[in-house]
Amino acid sequence: MTRRPKLPPAYRLVALETVDSTNAEAKRLAALGEDEGEDGTLVWARQQTAGRGRRGRQWYSPEGNLHCSLILRPECPVETALQLGFVAALAVCDAIARVAEPGHEVWCKWPNDVLLGDRKVAGILLESEANADAMPQWVVLGVGINVAHFPEDVEFPATSLREEGCRDIDEVDLLEAFAQHFLTWVNRWLDDGFVPVRKHWLQRAKGLGEAIEVRLDNETLSGTFADLDDDGALILEVEGGGRRRITAGDVYL
């Protein structure tokens, strides 16, 4: 194992050499209860053998990239807890900006990606288990950042920090920076709600005011990325001036 990261005391680190999926391991710990999967438990592995992204897609997970999952136990409805994806995106943006060379443009791409320029460098995966009252028993927040490597045979172009010239950083640097910035943003979300998170996310939103394509399960929509709703839904302005509110889908710029 490489050097152990230095994290704020709010986190309990579970460091692994190899795991099937950090999200899967975090879910196993969360299901054991708050003793094993307390709020702030951070599962980190140097390599994943079955890393996953949204909609069950494979996530490229070689040694040298950052793969981690955080167990959270927010006291709010599941729909509100989904805003943690935007919280995490801002933390990833700030972490990359902190360790990267000046001049790199870091963007948020709806709903849960982070771009360097026009190429994907990070992804976020939220999973939860709710009780009968639609309150989450736990939320697992997975984060993957392409530090040293990136996949080339993917539909949306990808990149890595090393590919973009950031050669003096490693996955531990990113983990430390992400953990610190996530703590800042999640505390702000807990104190002030989604309003400041939405504001700062929109300031970094890739494609805002531009033509995009949104692929849903049963249809593909084209229009202008008009806004982000108060709960994080994408507002798409379609031909004729109408607007569609989209809560799940894949965006192509």
pLDDT in tens, 232-242: 999 999 877 78
Residues 6+ apart with CB under 8 A from 54: 112, 123, 125
Burial annotation 140-151 (CB, 10 A radius, 16+ → b, else e): bbbbbbbbbbbe
Mean pLDDT value of segment 170-179 = 96
Query: Residue 204: which pLDDT band, with cuts at 50, 70 and 90?
Result: very high
**pTM assigned to the model:** 0.94
Mean pLDDT value of segment 97-125 = 91
- Residue 213 burial (CB count, 10 A): 14
CA 221 from centroid of its chain's CA atoms:
24
pLDDT at 59 over 60: yes
Chain-wide mean pLDDT for the chain?
A: 92
Answer left, alpha or beta for residue 249, where phi above 0 means left and psi between -120 and 50 means alpha. Answer: left
Taken in order of first residue, the domains within the chain and their CATH numbers are 12-203 (3.30.930.10), 211-252 (2.30.30.100)
* Residue 36: both structure tokens together: 């094993």
pLDDT digits (tens, 9 = 90+) for 130-159: 887 888 999 999 999 999 999 988 888 999
Residues 6+ apart with CB under 8 A from 30: 37, 41, 71, 129, 137, 138, 140
* Residue 237: both structure tokens together: 């302005």
